[in-house]
Structure 1
Amino acid sequence: MYQRLTHQIVLSALESQAAVVLLGPRQVGKTTLALDIGEQRPSVYLDLEREGDRRILTEPDLYLDEQVGKLVILDEVQQMPDLFKSLRGQIDMRRRKGVRTGQFLLLGSASNVLLHQSAESLAGRVRYIEMPPLLLDEVGGDRLNELWLRGGFPESFQADSDQASMDWRRDFLRTYLERDIPALGPRIPATTLRRFWTMLAHAQGGLLNAAALAEGLGVSGQTIGRYLDLLVDLMLVRRLQPWHENVGKRLVKSPKVFVRDSGLVHALLGLESPESLLGHPVVGGSWEGFCIETLIAAAPAGTLPFFYRTAAGAELDLVLRLPGDEIWAIEIKRTTSPKVSRGFHLAVEDIKADTKILVYAGARDVPVGEGLRAMPLADAVAKLRAL
C-alpha cells in the first residue's frame, strides 16, 4: 500500500477542526485511508451505504452521545443528508465538554452535494479536503508512464497487467453509469452519458464547445451543461477556467475540459497499451491533462488554476495563482526539446508571471533563457511541494 500524501493532511486537519470532510471519487482510497487513521486512535466506522449501519443512526443523537471521545468515521455520508444537523449539535455539545477537535471524519463521493448539505449547518466547524487518485510522487517517478497509461485509481494502477487494469476501469465506468449516478437522482440514460463522457475524452484538453456536443448527442445546450456539471461535481471531469483578469487583450472565454484521470480517458477510448496510446490523436491532450492534474494536486492549498489564451495566439497551458498572489506560468510539451513558442513569452508578459516553467519529456532541469526553466514533471512537482 502506498503512503498517501492526503494522510498527513487529514491528520493535521483533525488536530485543528471538529470535523473533516474527505471528498473524492469512488475507489480512490478514501475508506482505506480513513480506516488506517481509525486504527491509530479510539474510533468507530459506519458505512452509510449499508442498511444496517444506517439503522444504527435512525436516532443519531442516542448513538453519537455514546461515542464522545472517539473519532466517528461516516463513509458515503451523502446517503443521509439529514444527518448534518445532528452533527452540528453533537459538535457544539462536545465543545461545551471541552472536546473541540478530531470528532468526525466524513467521507463522500459527491462534492457539491456534500458542500451544499453541510456548508450552512457545519460552517466554522469543518474542513474540506479533496483526495486525488495516486500521484506521481506517491508511486515514484520511475513509474510515470505506467501511471499515465493506467491512471491513479489504486486498483487500476496496481493491477497485474495492462489488460487487467483496463478491465477494472471498464467495470468502474459501468458501475458509475448504471448504479452510482442514478443513485444521486439524475435520470440520465447510461448510454447517453457514456457517449457524452467519451466525447469529452476525444476532445481532452480542448475548449468547451457546448453547441457541438449538443448536436452530437441530439440534446440541448442546457442539457450539456447539466451533464457536465454532474461529472464535475463527481470530481471525474475538470472545467479549467481561463485567466480572467483584464490585461487589455481579447481573451478566450470558454473553459477547457479534461477527464481528470488519464486512465479513464484511455478506457473510454479503448487505448489498452502504450503503443495504442502513442499512436492515437489524443496523446497530446492526454499527456497535458495528466500533467495538469499532477501539478494542481502538488500546489499549496488555496492555489487557483487557470489557462491563458488570447485571440492573437498568446497561450499558457497552466497558470497557477498561489496563496500570496505569486503567479506561475507553465507550458507542457511531450518532447525532449526544451523550446517554447513566441506565444508563451507573450503570455508570460501579459500576466506578469513570477515563475516560468516548461514541463517536458527530458531528464534534466535546464535553463532555457529569459528566466524560463525546462524540467521533468517530477521536478516541477517537487518544486511545488517545497513551497
Structure 2
Amino acid sequence: MIKRSLLEPLRQALAESPAVCLLGPRQVGKTTLALDLAEPLGGLYLDLESEQDLAKLQEPEAYLSMHMDHLVILDEVHRLPGLFPALRGLIDRARRSDRRVGLYLLLGSASLDLLGQSGESLAGRLRFLEMSPLSVIEPTGASTERLWLRGGFPESLLAASDALSLRWRRDFIRTYLERDVPQFGPRIPAETLRRFWTMLAHRQGAPLNVAELARNIGVDAKTAGGYVDLLVDLLLARRVPSWHANVGKRLVKSPRLYWRDSGMLHALLGIPDMESLLAHPVVGASWEGFAIENLIDSAPEGTQAYYYRTSGGAEIDLLLGLPDGQQWAVEVKRSMAPRPERGFYAGCEDVGVSRRFVVYPGDEHFPLPHGVEAISLPGLATRLRLSAPTVAAG
C-alpha cells in the first residue's frame, strides 16, 4: 500500500477539528486513506452510495448519537444534503461533553455541493483538505515518466501495462460523463461534454477564451462557462489566474486552464504510450501542466498560485506566493539543457521574486546565470513540501 503524503495532515486536522472534509475526484484514494487512518481507531464507515447505509441515516441524529465515541466516516456525503444541520447539533452536543475533535470525516467527490451545504451549517466546525492524484514525491515505485504518461490515479498508475492503464482511464472518463456529471450539474448530453473536454485537452494551459469555446460547440458563452465551472468543481481541471498588480505593464488577464491529471489529458487525446506522447503536439503543454499541478500540490497550505504574462513578452509559467511572503518564479522546460527565455527574466524583474527556478526532466541541480536554479520536478516539489511550517503536537 502506498503511504499517501496527506495521511499526517489529515490526522493532524482530526486532532484539531470536530469535522474534516476530504475532497478529491473519484478513485483518487480518499476511501483507502480514510480507512487506513480509521482502522486503529475502530472508526465507523458509511458509504452513502449504498442503499443499506443510506437507510441507517433516515434519522441521522438518532443513529449517529449511538456512535459518538467513534470517528464516523461518511463517504460521498453530497448524496445526503440534509445531513449537515444534524451534524452541527451533534458536534455542539459533543463539545458540551468535552469531546471536541475527531468526530466526523466527510468524503466528497466535488466541491460545489459540499461548500454550499457546509458554509452555513458547519461554519467554524469543519476543516477542508483536498486530495490530489499521486504526486512525484509520493513513494509509488513508478518513474516520473510513467507518472506523467499514466497520471496519478492509483488504478491507472499501477496497471500492469500502458494498454490496461489507458483502458481504465477511458472507462473512468465515460463513467464521469454518463453517471457522475448528471449528479452534480444540469443534464448535459454526454457526447457534447466529451467534445468539450477533448477541446480543452487540445488547449492544455492556454488562456481561457469561453466565447471561442462556446462557438466551437454551438452553445452560448454562459453555458460554456458553466461547463468549465463544473469541470473545476469536480476537481478535474484547475484554473490558474493571472498575477495582477500595478506594475505599469499591460497584463494578460485571462486565467489558464489545465487538466489536473496528465493521464486523463492523454486519454482524451488518445495517447497510448510514451513514444506517442513525445511525438504529439501537446507534449510541451502536457509536461508544463504536469509540473505545475505537482508543484501546487506540494506547496504549503495557503500558497497562492498564478502565472504572469505581459503583452510585451514577459512571462512566468508559475508564480508561487508562499505563506511567509516569498514569491518563487518557475519556468518549465522539456529539455535536458534548460535555458530560461528572456521573457522569464523580465517577468522576474517586474514582480520582484525571491527565488528563480527552471524545472526540467533531468536529475541534477545546478545554477544558471542571473540567480536561476535548474532543478528536477521531484527536487523542487520536495523543497516546497519541506518549506511548510511544522506544527508542534500538544
Could you tell me the TM-score, scaled by structure 2's length? 0.97
1:17 equivalent in structure 2: 17
1:255 aligns with 2:255: yes
2:6 equivalent in structure 1: 6
Unaligned ranges ≥5, structure 2: 388-394
**Residue 155 of structure 1, CA deviation:** 0.3
SS of 2:373's partner is: strand
1:184 equivalent in structure 2: 184
1:109 equivalent in structure 2: 109
Does structure 2 conserve the Cα–Cα contact (< 8 Å) formed by 1:206 and 1:257? yes
Residue pairs, 1:157-306, within 5 angstroms? 157-306=157-306
Give the count of matched residue pairs: 387
Runs (4 or more) in structure 1 with deviation over 6 Å come to none
1:97 equivalent in structure 2: 97
Partner AA of 2:98 in structure 1: G
**Residue 265 of structure 1, CA deviation:** 0.4
Cα deviation code 1:132-189 (max 9, x no counterpart): 0011111368610000000000000000000000000000000000001112241100
The structure-2 alpha-carbon separation of the partners of 1:194 and 1:106, relative to structure 1 and needing over 3 Å to count, comes to same
Could you tell me the TM-score, scaled by structure 1's length? 0.98
**Structure 1 CA distance for aligned equivalents of residues 331 and 116 of structure 2:** 35
- Compare 181-190 and 127-136 and name the one that shifted more: 181-190
1:341 equivalent in structure 2: 341
Cα deviation code 1:80-99 (max 9, x no counterpart): 01100000000000000110
Cα deviation code 1:89-114 (max 9, x no counterpart): 00000000110000000000011210
**Structure 2 CA distance for aligned equivalents of residues 386 and 145 of structure 1:** 23
RMSD over aligned CA atoms reads 1.0
Partner AA of 2:252 in structure 1: V
**Structure 2 CA distance for aligned equivalents of residues 240 and 382 of structure 1:** 21
**Structure 1 CA distance for aligned equivalents of residues 119 and 351 of structure 2:** 34
2:320 equivalent in structure 1: 320
**Residue 324 of structure 1, CA deviation:** 2.3
**Structure 1 CA distance for aligned equivalents of residues 244 and 227 of structure 2:** 24
1:62 equivalent in structure 2: 62
1:368 aligns with 2:377: no
**Structure 1 CA distance for aligned equivalents of residues 183 and 302 of structure 2:** 31
**Structure 1 CA distance for aligned equivalents of residues 140 and 291 of structure 2:** 15
**Residue 248 of structure 1, CA deviation:** 1.2
Unaligned ranges ≥5, structure 1: none
**Structure 2 CA distance for aligned equivalents of residues 141 and 79 of structure 1:** 35
2:43 equivalent in structure 1: 43
**Structure 2 CA distance for aligned equivalents of residues 128 and 14 of structure 1:** 11
1:74 equivalent in structure 2: 74
**Residue 383 of structure 1, CA deviation:** 1.1
Partner AA of 2:316 in structure 1: L
**Structure 1 CA distance for aligned equivalents of residues 140 and 106 of structure 2:** 29
Does structure 2 conserve the Cα–Cα contact (< 8 Å) formed by 1:327 and 1:354? yes
2:121 equivalent in structure 1: 121
